[in-house]
Amino acid sequence: MKKPAVSVVGLGFVGLSLAVLNAKKGFDTCAIEKNVNKLKKISSGVPGFYEPLLKNELQNAIKANKIHFTSDLREILKTDITFLTVGTPSSKDGKIDLAQLKSVTTDLAKVLKEKKRKHLIVIKSTVIPGTTENIVSKIFAHLKNIVVVTNPEFLREGNAIKDLLEPHLIVIGEYNKKDGDLLERYYKNFYKKLPAVLRTNRTTAELIKYANNAFLATKISFINSVANICQKIPGSDVDTVAYAIGKDSRIGPLFLKAGPGFGGSCLSKDLSALIKFTKKFKDSVFLFEAVKKINQAQPLKILKLMEQMKLFGNRKTVAILGLAFKKDTDDIREAVSVKLVEHLIRKNLMIKVHDPMAINNFKSIFGDRISYHNSIADCLKNADCCVLLTEWDQYKKIKPHDFKLNMRTPNIIDARRILNPKKFLHLNFKAIGLGR
Ligand code: UGA
């Protein structure tokens, strides 16, 4: 069976990962991005952001001559399937901003007037239920060769390549069976063994993505609420509680890691969009609002611990280990680090930071208001408190001795629960969800 030619519009972490893996799987791939500076970088083999395995896969795809990069939307005419992976950010009031999606689909509709064969448009961007039905398909309604399906993705940053190669489920939202068959056929071509596929209508597919992210966010806010109780009860530990309840198969062990609150560009954005969207159905919105509020308040727990350590008032120095919103990414969007540093600057503390990947992104926000360090030891030097904020593997290896040797006063706050508290009994060690 001849493989269809594929185009991907919008080269963020989802679009670029998808494009290079299509090339890897032997599909002729056209990767389209309107930001020409970004495009230039990518076409020279540099993704422009850190995502494990991506740079390598990008360079392989370029070498194999299976991918080409352009900012010209007309190139989709040479392809059979177009994946739309443009951003759907939050607008100021939390509502989803569909401007990019509307503009790109309007432009695509103009280009696709010339298409004589069938063309499949796949909406991968996260969009509020009803968007494909009521907005996107109306834009293509006058073009009889165009088929629009919804196909939400569940990739995690830091795991994008692996998640794409081994998805837990492929959700296909279709107008009718024939439309969905087109996308399923493509996936049969992509995977040696087709993963589980769920076929549904387009609006349900869109809602599945929001329900998925909202549930993950709920699990995190739930365990953070338990963590906050633990902090008030001497001797209790949220990690033990999470382990025990995670053993109950009705609950499951994942996404029960207490911490400083969830960050990243997806969970908060999708939660806010869902809240705005469900406001009209009054009764279902309370839970989502609570999840969001708990998350907004969670970074303040770190300030509370710092207050107990008497760090405010006389120009003390704080070392922050970890700036990225989670490990294996350089992304600091909605990261707790940004919120925390803003608070600490207002409190007049000296701030030193370390992160294996996210320093440059952090510099673009905080400039010379704080100091940046390439080694953990440098960052800890003469600090009065160390806050562990991202669960990078290298931080898990830090020993009590490293803190003692380098810091002025070894006050430690493990906001990610990556260190074993029992090993730190002789230091002033505090952690989220640990009653002392
Ligand atoms: C999330 C979803 O997990 C993906 O399935 C989805 O495709 C993606 O959003 C998206 O909509 O594009 P991502 O934002 O990459 O993926 O990050 P997560 O792994 O979900 O982590 C989000 C935040 O929650 C991080 O700050 C992480 O540290 C935190 N977290 C996660 C916890 O605090 N505790 C946990 O137990 C798990």
Whether residue 5 contacts residue 30, with contact meaning beta carbons closer than 8 Å, is answered with yes
Contact present, 120 and 137 (Cβ < 8 Å): no
Where residue 281 falls among pLDDT bands split at 50, 70, 90?
confident
Closest ligand 1 atom number to CA of residue 14: 12
Confirm or reject: Cβ of 333 under 6 Å from ligand 1.
Answer: no
H or E stretch at 36: helix 36-43
Helix (H) or strand (E) holding 292: helix 285-308
What whole-number percentage of the chain has pLDDT above 70? 99
Confidence of residue 2 (pLDDT cuts 50, 70, 90): confident
Arithmetic mean of pLDDT over the chain = 96
User: Identity (one letter) of the amino acid at 17?
Assistant: S
In the prediction, which pLDDT does 272 show? 95
Left, alpha or beta for 95 (phi > 0: left; psi -120 to 50: alpha)?
A: beta
Question: Is residue 282 pLDDT above 80, yes or no?
Answer: no
Task: Please enumerate in sequence order all residues whose Cβ is within 8 A of that of 144, keeping only pairs 6 or more positions apart, or say none.
Answer: none
CB 386 within 8 A of CB 321: yes
Q: Give the pTM.
A: 0.96
DSSP string spanning 84-105?
E-----B-TTS-B--HHHHHHH
**Alpha helical stretches, state H, 309-414:** 336-346, 359-366, 376-380, 393-396, 400-406
- Is residue 143 classed as helix, strand or coil in its secondary structure? coil
pLDDT band with cut points at 50, 70 and 90 for residue 436: confident
How far does residue 185's CA lie from ligand 1's centre (Å)? 30
DSSP 434: B
Q: Is the pLDDT of residue 226 over 80?
A: yes
Between CA 184 and CA 203 the distance in angstroms is 18
> Rounded to an integer, what distance in angstroms lies between the CA atom of residue 335 and that of residue 84?
26
Task: Show which residues are catalytic.
Answer: 266
**Token pair for residue 360?**
């440059």
255 ligand 1 Cβ < 6 A: yes
Per-residue pLDDT tens for 57-90?
Answer: 999 999 999 999 999 999 999 999 999 999 999 9
Q: Residue 296 in contact with residue 375, Cβ under 8 Å?
A: no
**Tell me, what's the pLDDT at 285?**
82
Predicted confidence (pLDDT) per residue in 295-339, tens digit? 999 999 999 999 999 999 888 999 999 999 999 999 999 999 999
Q: Compute the average pLDDT of residues 259-268.
A: 97
Nearest CA to ligand 1 atom 28: 326
The CA 72 to ligand 1 mean position distance, Å, reads 33
